[in-house]
Structure 1
Amino acid sequence: MSKGENLKFWLRHALLPFALFVLLAGLFELTDWDLRLSAPFFDPMLQFWPYKHSWWAGGLIHTGGKYLVLLCGAGALAAWGGSFACKRLRFWRRTALFLCLSIGLGTGLVSLGKQMTNRHCPWDCDLYGGDVPYVRLFEAPPAGCKQGKCFPAGHAAGGFSLMSLYFALYRRRRLALVGLASGFGLGALFGFGQVARGAHFVSHNIWTAAICWTVALLLYAFMLRTRPMPAAEANR
């Protein structure tokens, strides 16, 4: 790969996404967008989140989404394991491992962040019937309050981790874009469901998307980017 192509790759996949993330994260930190976007899903009269245990947000998107991501991860793991026994799968061994690691590390880092950042869910905040004062992400956490474990957005990480399909299919551009749209769409859907339930603010999902994208990008750079093309594609 030439220096020009290499520079173009990193500009497109690292610098531009990072600039977009900084812009969005900064806007949410400096404005009340999080509160405005969560407000429609909270009933101030009854002081509760109507969709917290709904069939579509709590059941379909939250519980069903977990099983979908587990199925995808298990499928990639099975393909990786099967590649040692099936000759046709050998070329895709590294790609399958890449998907397993992208899903595992993306969701794992987000889960670790939730344990360390001490940020609370909307439903914990006094603005929404909870007992913890609302603070922005970069403000000091309330003194004497129980530890928060709601940032970044864990459930959305499962969907956003599937943006790794973009890199797994990178040399087949149309399929790669479908993979990107699928992963981003699922992450956004999972994130929307959690916002509707009062489990996360929108900004939590923005940070999660950035983490999952970075994990997939770095794994691709180390594992797949210099991988030779199969003969069938090289001869096209």
Structure 2
Amino acid sequence: MSERANLDHGFWLWHAGLPLLLFGALAAVFELSDWDLILSDRFFDAARGGWYLKHSWWADGLIHRGGKYLVLATALGALGLWLGSYRWAELLRFRHGALFMVLCIALGTGLVAAGKATINRHCPWDYQRYGGKVPYVRLFESPVPGHKTGHGFPAGHASGGFALTGSYFLFRRRRPRLALLGLGAGLALGGVFGFGQLVRGAHFASHNLYSVILCWLVSLGLYAGGFSGRLHPPQAQGEAARPRGKIPAP
């Protein structure tokens, strides 16, 4: 049975239906309640200098700046692995998985960045409630005219971590436990990134929901759209093993 044959209604129920249902429920909770404000209020104190953790060593230095380098190193490592597979036969079995992760990171973070550039929503620190100049509005309310365009939604930094949830699909068929570990690691890293930006006043908690669902749908789309039958070593698909040594580029 081919890998694509396994993408039945059960697959779509668990990998698309359930995540979208959970996302919709959580997004509705945040939109209909004040949880964004309640959570952000905990880290804003005018008497202590506003967002008193904005320039902390761990939120700014470790999570914000260091996190960028971690995701960049992961993407470059996967890119190097993919390119190297055209030269060294030892890397051939990593070719499709490496390209898959490169695309998950590039497209996931790219879509979120495009949203930040085009959707007029501000960071918490831009709102009057937190010392800024823009009147606060909920996500689905019209922004108050007369103010500069906001570039604070969705959560860009967290998307770098959430994009790594694509690693789930690398091992989904062959090593289910490792697949779940990859999923958990991507969610945890994106959550840590999101929390770091929350305490700095850069994003509301709900901004991370939209980043994680975008990154997940990108990974799902790539997997179902062309990678589902490729994310296995050639031997697993009955292909003859190629000789060791250099491999000419196609």
Query: Does residue 123 of structure 2 align to residue 131 of structure 1?
Result: no
Q: Which amino acid aligns with 2:211?
A: T
Cα distance, 1:186 vs structure 2: 0.3
The CA deviation string for residues 92-146 of structure 1, in whole angstroms up to 9 with x for no partner, is 2111111000000000000000011110000000011111101011000110001
CA separation in 2, counterparts of 1:71 and 1:179? 17
CA shift in 2, pair 1:228/1:145, >3 Å: closer
CA separation in 2, counterparts of 1:229 and 1:207? 30
CA separation in 1, counterparts of 2:14 and 2:107? 23
CA separation in 2, counterparts of 1:192 and 1:136? 20
Q: Secondary structure at the match of 1:131?
A: coil
CA separation in 1, counterparts of 2:232 and 2:140? 45
Q: Which amino acid aligns with 2:201?
A: G
Match of 1:195 among 190, 198, 218: 198
Q: Which amino acid aligns with 1:213?
A: W
Cα distance, 1:234 vs structure 2: 7.3
Q: Which amino acid aligns with 2:171?
A: L
Cα distance, 1:88 vs structure 2: 2.3
Q: Which amino acid aligns with 2:228?
A: R
CA separation in 2, counterparts of 1:78 and 1:229? 19
CA separation in 2, counterparts of 1:15 and 1:208? 17
Cα distance, 1:89 vs structure 2: 1.8
Q: Which amino acid aligns with 1:145?
A: H
Q: Which amino acid aligns with 2:203?
A: H
Match of 1:219 in 2: 222
In the TM superposition, 1:48-127 aligns within 5 A as 48-127=50-129
The CA deviation string for residues 125-169 of structure 1, in whole angstroms up to 9 with x for no partner, is 001111110101100011000110000000000000000111122
Match of 1:23 in 2: 25
CA separation in 2, counterparts of 1:63 and 1:4? 40
Q: How many residues align?
A: 235
Match of 1:34 in 2: 36
Mapped contact 1:98–1:223 kept (Cα < 8 A): no
Match of 1:142 in 2: 144
CA separation in 2, counterparts of 1:95 and 1:119? 35
Query: Does residue 190 of structure 2 align to residue 176 of structure 1?
Result: no
Q: CA RMSD in A?
A: 1.8
Q: Secondary structure at the match of 1:45?
A: helix
Q: Which amino acid aligns with 1:123?
A: W
Q: Structure 1: which 5+ runs fail to align?
A: none
Percent identity of paired positions between Structure 1 and Structure 2? 55
Based on CA coordinates, which of the two structures has the bigger radius of gyration?
2
Q: Which amino acid aligns with 1:215?
A: V
Q: Which amino acid aligns with 1:53?
A: H
CA separation in 2, counterparts of 1:230 and 1:191? 35
Q: Which amino acid aligns with 2:10?
A: K
Q: Structure 2: which 5+ runs fail to align?
A: 239-250
Q: Calculate the TM-score normalised by the size of structure 2.
A: 0.89
